[in-house]
Amino acid sequence: MRKTLPIAASQPNDLECPGLTLETAFVDDGSPETQVMVFRVEPLPRTRPTNMTVVKFSKRKHALPDADNIQLGTLEFYRQYDGEGEGIRDEMEGRFQEDYSATLLRHVQLPISSGSFRAQATLEVEDQWLFCTSLVPKLSSGLIMGRIGKDFGYECGTEILAPGKFAQELGAVFAIHTSWEDVRLSAEHEARRLFGSSRIISRTVSVYHGPVCYPADAAKVVNSFPELHRPAIAPFQKRPDYERQREYRFVLNFLGEPQAKTLLLPATPELSALSKVVWEDSR
């Protein structure tokens, strides 16, 4: 059973803003001390996929309808990815470059030309868990689906039938099967958790789902959002070199950073019911 929670923000942009929509918030009986909040992400205008299907490509034994577990990987996992599938590893996952050249030139009283001066910094958000899927055209033939899957070394394509509902179920399973031991807290937060009131730090699991965008200037996109929401938006940015992946992501986090780079969650009947195998390699 789940209890849907009324959500009221003290400030207009505390929970939502253009491109970030709170779909639901609830508490599940399996983890009554954890609030789950599900957000829909549209990192750029017109990135809502139309006539597209969300598909998880995998080895056949890992296909969700029949698998025992579902694996999440962290941003750091994909930065160092060393498995099958060409072009999956990306050292800039959750990172983007900010160019401060123009700002500094305005304040530096030296005869420096703008063409010979560059000041850049690589910014990085806290690590989070990802469940990565792909967007493919609806009614794709087996030939098209197979070409997409085989490009990355997969054997099977599983459609996620209702991404919003899938995000809710994934958040509920995550809340039930994770604990404070799965994350690294700052010294301050760990002390408050151990010695303070349980009301001081509550467990809120946030699930963000939506299409990845591939802008030439990721910093410009991230910085167009209110500062509070930029850590949620950053994992939905990738460099243009990765555009052929056409990713749709589910990003999960709560206070603290993951202890391990991967996390296995049980593939519950509720998650399996929201999936259907739509392509298999016939070889």
Q: Contact at 8 Å (CB) between 27 and 3? A: yes
Rounded CA gap, 248 and 162, in Å?
Answer: 13
Amino acid at 230: R
Q: Which residues make Cβ contacts (< 8 Å) with residue 211, sequence separation at least 6?
A: 41, 42, 43, 47, 48, 49, 135, 236, 246, 247, 248, 249
CB-neighbour burial class of residue 141 (10 A; exposed 0-12, middle 13-18, buried 19+): exposed
Question: Would you say the C-alpha torsion 113, 117, 119, 120 has a positive or negative sign?
Answer: positive
pLDDT at 87 over 90: no
What tens digit of pLDDT does each residue of 203-258 get? 789 999 999 999 988 888 888 898 889 889 999 999 898 888 889 999 998 877 88
DSSP 5: P
What is the percentage of the chain residues whose pLDDT exceeds 70? 75
Report residue 115 as tokens: 């063409």
Ramachandran region, residue 247 (left: φ > 0; alpha: ψ -120 to 50; beta: rest)? beta
What tens digit of pLDDT does each residue of 119-134 get? 566 677 788 999 999 9
Domain segments of the chain as ranges:
2-89+126-280
Q: Which residues make Cβ contacts (< 8 Å) with residue 217, sequence separation at least 6?
A: none
